[in-house]
Structure 1
Amino acid sequence: MDLDRISTRAAELAADFGVRTPRVVVGSVPQWVTWRLRYSVRKREPVLTIAAGFGDLPVSEQDAALANMIVVGHTYRAGATRTALIFALCFVVASWPLMYAAAYHGTPIEVTVSVFGTLYVFGYLLTFALRSRHVIHRSDHRVAEVMGRSAVDSMIDHDIRNGHMIRGFIRLYLTAFSPTIAQRMRRLDADFGPRPIAA
């Protein structure tokens, strides 16, 4: 695997998208991550971890995967504070009437804490699911805008081909927090026109 070439290409793509260039390192990623890439932040610096198998992908899929990871990672980071503030505000707005009702009716503290805990967990999961779906749709749109619809189509084709490798809890998690292939395609069709049919 040519790390220098991948690093150079990641830098070019980051410039195309107007985001910070990630540092590219070789490492391991979970087996279910079929793109063999992981985006993370270390000491406020974006890092792309490339695992064995990434170099086996066709160059067009490597490009699409790099672009997607760069855009998704940046979008998550850029909106993290705003999302946390919105969640906190919604939680406070929803919890104040419940606190008042609990105090007024003399509800036992154990019941009150259980209700607040449930509300917090449910609200967090709902916020995370909505945020994740938004980020994926936004990334699809941005990658298609900069690199063309075919780049996103190649990512979707890859996901379809390798979907059988994702099992159990991870499949359930991705189903809950990601839009379906059909939803992604409908958004792309609406924004960029129907996918061209290969002859």
Structure 2
Amino acid sequence: MDLDRISTRTAELAETFGVRTPEVVAGKVPAYATERLRLSFRLGQPILTVGAGFDDLPPIEQVGALANALLVANLVRTGQTKLALAFAVPFLLICFPLLYLCFYHGYPAWVTLSVFAAFYVIWHLLTVGLRLRRIGYRVDQKVAEVMGREVVDAMIDHDIRNRPSLPALARLYYTIYWPSETQRTQRLDATFGPRTTV
């Protein structure tokens, strides 16, 4: 794997998109990361881990995977405050009155805490799910605007090809938290017109 070439290309793409350049390192990537990239953060700095097999992807998928990772990193990093507010404000407005009612009616502590925990988990999953779906659409839109629709189409094709081979839990995660390939294509069609095949 030519890590210098990947780092250089990542830096070029980061400049093109106007986002922070991540540190690029070689390492182990989970099997469900079919693009052979893993994004993480250390003290707010994005780290892009490139796994074995990245060089085996077609060039258009390599550049698409790098662009996607850069934009996801930027949207996750810059959207932390919004996400916290989107979670906290409605949660507090609904949950605290609910807790007050539980205490007021004299429900046992375990009932009150169970209600609180269940509501917390459900609200967290809902908030994260909505945020990740929005990120998915925004990444597709930006990559198509800057690099052309064919790059996004190549990544959608990559996902369609690799989705069946993912572990069941990963497939469930993507089904719940990420827009489907059909939804992504419909959004792109609405903005850029129907996909052209060569």
Per-residue deviation, residues 51-78 of structure 1 (Å, max 9, x unmatched): 0000111111111110011001111111
Alignment coverage as a number of residue pairs: 198
**What percentage of aligned pairs have identical amino acids?**
55
Tell me which amino acid in the other structure corresponds to 1:6. Answer: I
Tell me which amino acid in the other structure corresponds to 2:23. Answer: R
Residues 1:26 and 2:26 are matched in the alignment: yes
Aligned pairs (5 A) from 1:165-184: 165-184=165-184
Tell me which amino acid in the other structure corresponds to 1:189. Answer: D
Aligned residue number for residue 88 of structure 1 = 88
Aligned mates of 1:11, 1:124 — CA distance in 2: 34
**3-state SS of paired residue (2:79):** helix
TM superposition shift of 1:153: 0.3
TM superposition shift of 1:96: 2.4
Aligned mates of 2:40, 2:105 — CA distance in 1: 47
| Stretch of structure 1 that moved more, 166-175 or 126-135 | 166-175
Aligned residue number for residue 42 of structure 2 = 42
Instruction: Give the conservation status (yes or no) of the 8 Å contact 2:91–2:120.
Output: yes
Aligned residue number for residue 119 of structure 2 = 119
TM superposition shift of 1:193: 1.0
**3-state SS of paired residue (1:24):** strand
TM superposition shift of 1:164: 2.0
Per-residue deviation, residues 103-135 of structure 1 (Å, max 9, x unmatched): 332222111111011000000001111111011
Aligned mates of 1:100, 1:44 — CA distance in 2: 37
Aligned residue number for residue 195 of structure 2 = 195
TM-score normalised according to structure 2 size:
0.96
TM-score normalised according to structure 1 size:
0.96
Aligned residue number for residue 77 of structure 2 = 77
Aligned mates of 2:60, 2:172 — CA distance in 1: 29
| Stretch of structure 1 that moved more, 141-150 or 92-101 | 92-101
TM superposition shift of 1:197: 2.4
Tell me which amino acid in the other structure corresponds to 2:151. Answer: A
Structure 2 residues without counterparts, runs of 5 or longer = none
**3-state SS of paired residue (1:47):** strand
Per-residue deviation, residues 23-69 of structure 1 (Å, max 9, x unmatched): 11100110111100011112332111100000111111111110011
Aligned residue number for residue 110 of structure 1 = 110
TM superposition shift of 1:100: 2.7
Deviating runs (4+, > 4 A) in structure 1?
none
